Amino acid sequence: MLALKQAWKGKLSAKKLTILFLALALAGGGSWYYLRAQKAQTPVATASTVISAQKKDVKISLAADGKADYPITNLKFNGNGIVDAILVQEGQRVNKGDVLARLNVKNLENQVKQAEANYNSAVAKYQKLIAGPTDAEHQAKQVAVDSAEKNLRVQQAAYDYKVTLMNDGKTTEGDILAEELKLEGAIAQLENAKAQLALLTAVDPYDLATASETVKQMEAALAIARNNLQEATLTSPTDGMVLSLNGKAGELLASSNTPFIVLAIGTEVTVDSYLIEDDIGKISVGQVAEVVFTSIPDKTYAGKVSSISPNPVIDQSGIVTYKTSVILNAPDETIKNGMTASMAFIAQQVKGVVTVPVEAVVRVNGTPSVEVQSSNGSTGWVKVKTGLTDGKIVEIKEGLTAGDKVLIRKNIKK
């Protein structure tokens, strides 16, 4: 955001001297007019030019140099990879959300798919713990308990029968021991079946906490994978224009602070100037300005002062300047970033008023007058009331209308 600095301090150009003189004259007595004294006698020899009074704008302005400056945003990829495609060109207008460039995303897409699968599995396990057993699972466990109870009754009856036989002396102690082992097995089977049924109705807090933490971890991994995939595509954050591209399709992109794309924000164009401290007091925010770019000399762009920096810029010579920015009302595509320009900060102006060159107005008997040529060719002096002047033309408030023929006489030296 550079601007051309004025290379002098404490000096005023001829134009500025004229402006200062005009401003002082206006402050002291209202309308100022630039007149030359008319002598009592007509010069011995004169040359005259006939001009027409014309309607024009009269402006008093402060001149400065400046440079076009686009507000920009820098875009870059946050990861590494091979540039798959660049979808824009320098100078191209883009809209918010447009895809500008992207990296090769095959591996990143696979990572997203795997992360999604892991996350969905973790969620399913957690939801199953929360929901508890299904009717089918509960029924299966209850069937196991019923079967174990039935088996225990059978084994208990068999054991009791063997004990009866032993008491009658009809069996051995070894047979009793075998039946005891079968009975103990049936008891253990029933206890295990009941324990499995109990597990279906009581969720272990540790298992629930572990499942919940797993879901969070898988969700974070999925977010990272999706973010990596998203950041492999550069999209425009705003309407604007591509100013520069710093890469090519097929290149390996490494981590760098260099922006991949520099994007001008919107259509706004600012022209920056650095005004010396003697002039900055004459400028205010909202003041009208006119800008003519060096490379577009036939067009004048209107604008307004958008900001005046309170911080001075002091160069090596000790010259103090203040950055002053003008936003153009209607910029177009011909204006390029960094173009140099001549700027005019309008201090006073009147539009569409009757004017004549300042040398056409002279004093006749102490009164501002112009020499007017009638339709038959005769001439005569007409008193006029003058207004604003820029040192070249002067506003005529009274005494003339647009189209009146006015003579400008010049003495011929012999």
pLDDT along the chain (414 residues), means of 10: 33 37 37 41 64 94 94 87 91 93 89 95 90 76 90 90 84 84 92 84 80 95 90 91 90 81 92 94 94 96 96 93 96 92 94 95 93 92 94 95 92 53
Sheet of strand 240-245, all strands in order from the earlier edge strand to the far edge: 72-75, 261-265, 240-245, 93-94
Report whether 181 contacts 188 (CB < 8 A).
Answer: no
Domains in the chain, number: 3
- Of the three residues 174, 206, 227, the one that is the final residue of a domain is 227
Residue 247 confidence (pLDDT): 87
Residue 92 confidence (pLDDT): 92
Pairing between β-strand 362-364 and β-strand 36-37 as defined by DSSP bridges: parallel
61: left (phi over 0), alpha (psi -120 to 50) or beta: beta
253 and 127, same domain (yes or no): no
1 occurs within a structural domain? no
E-strand stretches of 21-124 = 36-37, 46-52, 54-69, 72-75, 81-86, 93-94, 99-103
350 occurs within a structural domain? yes
Secondary structure element (H or E) that encloses residue 190, with its range: helix 173-201
Question: For residue 87, what is the domain's CATH number?
Answer: 2.40.50.100
4 occurs within a structural domain? no
Calpha distance 294→340 (Å, rounded): 6
275 and 405, same domain (yes or no): yes
Residue 39 confidence (pLDDT): 42
329 and 369, same domain (yes or no): yes
37 and 89, same domain (yes or no): no
| Cβ density class 48-70: b for 16+ within 10 Å, e for less | eeeeebeebebbbbbebbbbbbb
Residue 1 confidence (pLDDT): 32
The length of the chain in residues reads 414
Question: For residue 371, what is the domain's CATH number?
Answer: 2.40.30.170
171 and 290, same domain (yes or no): no
332 and 355, same domain (yes or no): yes
Calpha distance 85→99 (Å, rounded): 10
217 occurs within a structural domain? yes
- Of the three residues 246, 265, 284, the one that is the final residue of a domain is 265
Residue 175 confidence (pLDDT): 83
251 occurs within a structural domain? yes
Q: Which amino acid type is present at position 199?
A: L
51 and 116, same domain (yes or no): no
2 occurs within a structural domain? no
179 and 280, same domain (yes or no): no
For CA atoms 192, 197, 201, 207, the dihedral sign is positive
346 and 382, same domain (yes or no): yes
Tokens of 375: 């339709």
336 and 253, same domain (yes or no): no
Bridge partners of residue 340, in order along the sequence: 67
Report whether 395 contacts 34 (CB < 8 A).
Answer: no
245 and 178, same domain (yes or no): no
- Of the three residues 169, 200, 227, the one that is the final residue of a domain is 227
Q: Which amino acid type is present at position 339?
A: M
Secondary structure element (H or E) that encloses residue 201, with its range: helix 173-201
Domain span including residue 92: 72-103+232-265
Q: How many CB atoms lie within 10 A of CB 285?
A: 11
Tokens of 285: 């925010």
204 and 307, same domain (yes or no): no
163: left (phi over 0), alpha (psi -120 to 50) or beta: alpha
368 occurs within a structural domain? yes
6 occurs within a structural domain? no
Residue 252 confidence (pLDDT): 87
Residue 45 confidence (pLDDT): 53
Tokens of 305: 């002062």
Bridge partners of residue 327, in order along the sequence: 270, 304
